[in-house]
Structure 1
């Protein structure tokens, strides 16, 4: 008997569409690849998994979908058609917009992290725009993204998986609440998408992200954190961003698509080496409102006195150092003047020398260029800045007390301040981001499984909010001010997870001394029960490298009231030609 070919399967249809392939099936929606013979083209058809349960529900569905159609954004796919077949509503999109993320990952299973971040950032831009307009997606899946040949991403399926309410409900009364709650779930699902792409495998071995959400804490018992076995190494900032997006604690996650986008875009810009993201925003703000507001009033009265020239230079420099903004402005101006006059590789951090070089007129100009306290800050943010400046001042005093003999106290003071430059600028220019970082550093609530849960480090929290760390912000500004490479190295704190080795140079000694002081003051900011342990831990880290013990540390933290102040003349004992001289003075005086 001759072999015959099997009969072709019967053609499946949905209204006038020919169903070609099921691209995605989740608990809430279906996505089909279809052919429309009326127009002779392929489309992508999105429809809810369940039929609306009443005529009013169908009318509400169509009204919401048509409202979403009116939202125009480059990262939101425009619907080709909205309709219904036997009370089954649908939204159709042009297949030419691109392939789904599912299809891209099948063809390219291990995209680079920078590409993954670019796709998700585009998705978040469109999603944030939709959320702002009062619409939600409610079922973001790997098939909800379409990517074209030039890697442009568009979101499909907006308002397809609508909230299911009883047939008698007043839709207008519940829609606003439902959209707000659904928007937060959208953001969580985008975090799961990022996790899926970076890990190279389905999250919790589930293809339906809604099933993952139901298994995650606090609803379920599962934790979703990016593992270490990934197709490509994941940079620490991107890892922190991804893990924050799926954190087990609701309060730690991104609640707004725009906040998630800002962090991701900040990392992408920094990773592309174009000084973008928060660094560009910060430098722009520096041009418009300066670095910090001045805490000094009446400088013109102080500098206008006829007897000022007769005063000892140390008295004037001591006055200037009490104003953090003014001292940083003098550092910027004097070192720019050095650079302009052709003196490369020299940095002045001694206020006496800076004032001598700039003169009283230069000091007055510097003071006049600063905004008065508190600048544009509202009262609460101004108080946070004041507290931060007080902690930095305390750290500078501790560093001066701990510095080895012969090192210029003013230099140590200013390096300690500049090791906090990124923190100070963040609090002044981006107080909301600074508050987010502080909130992320609060330890999560204890559970039976984790009675002493670890808190997020400042670096990880900054990565999760800004996409870069605070040292990077400070270094970018110092570089913008034209400060030398040697100083740029000294103003980077010793990493908390790195061993402290004995210094090999004056620069190492200064950097480690100031880092030590900053860590000690950070320890004092911990809850009272942990302060002593924090101080002792920091002392153990630096004791061998700097030759200090707990007794010297406690004296530096709690100086005796009768202890005489350090004499300025003692600084002259530094050996000529050393880094100490190059930082504090240039030439003879």
Structure 2
């Protein structure tokens, strides 16, 4: 935009000292304040004399370079003005003054984020997340409608007095192409590329709000993007010196939004919104977000699909009545979905009937005995057959995860302290993986995204050994909550006891392992060790795998009284079984013939013969006519 013209003064005007200040104008608009100026756009507060109200004008910094470019600009601006969403600012007018196009918004919609931060320098993290969530929701709707912003700045976020956020300035900063280009051919590609840059700038905006200062000392977020890797050399991470403490989950979301590796960032506004909204709603007592969505899916399609039809076939053939409870329990434990369904049914029934039962029922034989054969058949019929709504690849991933969970259960049984029921230990181990299992079944795409984030980024000269995200940090970045919280929420929904809810929380890999003083702590630590050992077995490098096993063993050794020998026997059950058989049945000596037995009986026992004296032992070494010089009897 050229220098803002002023209204020319008449020739016979009064002296300069007495005439009023000249008004700055842009067409019919009176320019009152420059709200923001970036490398691509300007935002002005103006007064429209025709409407008699204040407006906000958004203009490009560079005028379109041809009549075709101007026509394309106006066409795109009018198209986005027709997109309606509660978080998109409604457009008052799309017009032009000479060669300069503009988009006008009502000032009554609120103030810009820059103005709000000037008044309220340190908003709470929950408020910041709420603002950005609303912004992302509107931006995602615009992206899905085929439009991009291309100049996301703090001034493009309007906040009303009631904290309703709207996106302003869509399609104002359009790409600059040569004058003879076919705009219809290049516009679609430009929108796809610009949408990812929009999401990155929203992440920088969140850093700006939470950090309390400009990111990389730049007020223009586009200039910040140019300084960040991989375009520049700067690294953007959430500082530890912030006006308010930043929760770990929110910190992980912020850091992923501006990760130095482009492939690790959020590529879509909808994904960014889901993660941030998941954290925001989890703070609000789990009234929404991924936990509420998961509970809704549990009501509609169940927790897991049945991986075995053995019990259903037995029930249909009326042969179940002849089965012993232990045999039925063995069949039920082979089907993870059925085991969980039986636990849910028996504990939910006890809770509803108000029965006085100590703790939670965690034994399959007891659960089957309490539900009866009819209850067991109903539980088996209530499950969806394998693989449910999953595709072939997703079903294979769930099957692999189930195999690892079953392996962890067997290891926990081998490592359990003496006197504890093996079924109880196995089921606690399964429940410690409940969140992971449900995520893989109900949100397979999110589970794949978490696994991708856990892979270490590609090494560079500056970072030859880059660290990967932990499972907890990756879950925070994708869902806004950790996987244990998913499992705990479902356990509460199933009316399982507080003691079990305590045991299904894994021991944190970063927290020290304390000596267990209660049975529940002892079982929780035993199952946590088994799960960590299975995680270590997934490392492809044998040397690093062995190191991870040794590290996990050392962490739990004092609290559980275990060593590497017990751990290796638990990881290799065949060797442990062979050792037990060898101890129970020592190898028999070869049979001797009768002649060998008689010869051994007649052979004198060397232990029973008298020992020769010292003098007698020396006699054979002496010759017949020789007497030792030092022998006192040699003179006689």
Unaligned runs of 5+ in 1: 567-589
2:524 alignment partner in structure 1: 511
Contact 1:125 1:261 in 2 (8 A): yes
2:513 aligns with 500
Q: Determine if the alignment matches structure 1 residue 339 to structure 2 residue 369.
A: no
Question: Counterparts of 1:413-428 in structure 2 under 5 Å?
Answer: 413-428=426-441
Q: Is 1:353–2:366 an aligned residue pair?
A: yes
Question: Is this contact kept in 2: 1:124–1:260, CA < 8 A?
Answer: yes
Mark the structure with the bigger radius of gyration: 2
The 5 Å alignment of 1:550-589 reads: 550-560=564-574, 563=577
Correspondences of 1:444-523 after superposition (within 5 Å):
444-523=457-536
User: What CA distance in whole angstroms lies between the structure 1 residues aligned with 2:348 and 2:579?
Assistant: 32
Where structure 2 has 5 or more consecutive residues not aligned to the other structure, the ranges are 1-15, 581-636
Q: Which residue of 2 aligns with 1:326?
A: 338
SS at match of 1:364: helix
Q: Greater shift after overlay, 30-39 or 301-310?
A: 301-310
Q: 2:553 aligns with which of 509, 519, 539?
A: 539
How many Å separate the matches in 2 of 1:481 and 1:463? 24
* 1:435-491 deviation line (CA, Å, top 9, x unaligned): 110011110111111111110011111111111110000000000000000100000
User: Which of 370, 375, 381 matches 2:394?
Assistant: 381
Query: Using a 3 Å threshold, how does the CA distance of structure 1 residues 393 and 372 change in structure 2: closer, same or farther?
Result: same
- Matches of 1:12 and 1:267, distance apart in 2: 46
Q: Distance in 2 between matches of 1:460 and 1:226?
A: 14
State whether residues 338 and 346 of structure 1, in contact with CA within 8 Å, keep that contact through their aligned partners in structure 2: no
In 2, the alpha carbon distance for the partners of 1:70 and 1:309 equals 67
Q: Work out the CA distance in 2 between the residues paired with 1:289 and 1:35.
A: 57
Q: CA deviation at 1:9?
A: 3.6
- Corresponding residue for 1:436? 449
Partner Cα distance (1:545, 1:502) in 2? 4
Given candidates 174, 190, 205, the residue that maps to 1:193 is 205
- Contact 2:570 2:576 (C-alpha < 8 Å) held by counterparts: no
C-alpha contact (below 8 Å) 2:569/2:575 kept by paired residues: no
Distance 1:562 1:111, change over 3 A: closer
Q: How does 1:226-265 map to 2 (within 5 A)?
A: 226-265=238-277
Pair 1:157 & 2:175 matched: no
Change over 3 Å in CA distance of 1:417–1:86 after alignment to 2: same
Cα distance change, pair 403–33 in 1 and its aligned pair in 2 (3 A): same
CA contact (8 A) 2:311 2:331 kept: no
**SS of the residue 1:19 aligns to:** strand
Query: How many residues are paired up?
Result: 563
Aligned to 1:576: none
Match in the other structure for 2:628? none
Q: Which residue does the alignment assign to 2:231?
A: 219
Q: State the distance in 1 between where 2:489 and 2:87 align.
A: 31
User: TM-score, normalising length from structure 2?
Assistant: 0.87
1:11 is paired with a residue whose SS is coil
Conserved? CA contact 1:29–1:46, under 8 Å? yes
Cα distance in 1 for partners of 2:87, 2:312 equals: 55
**Could you tell me how far 1:315 is from its partner in structure 2?**
2.1
Question: Deviation of residue 561 (structure 1)?
Answer: 5.5
**Is residue 303–residue 337 contact of structure 2 (8 Å, CA) maintained in 1?**
yes
Counterpart for residue 114 of structure 2: 102
Asked if the contact 2:274/2:478 (under 8 Å) is kept, the reply is yes
Q: Which moved more, 1:293-302 or 1:34-43?
A: 293-302
**RMSD in angstroms over aligned alpha carbons?**
1.5
Deviation at 1:549? Answer: 0.5
Note the alpha carbon deviations across 1:29-77, whole angstroms, 9 max, x for none: 1111111111111111100000100000000000000000010001111
1:341–1:136 Cα change, 3 Å: same
| Number of the residue aligned with 2:634 | none
Structure 1 contact 443–453 (Cα < 8 Å) conserved:
yes
Give the C-alpha shift of residue 180 in structure 1: 0.2
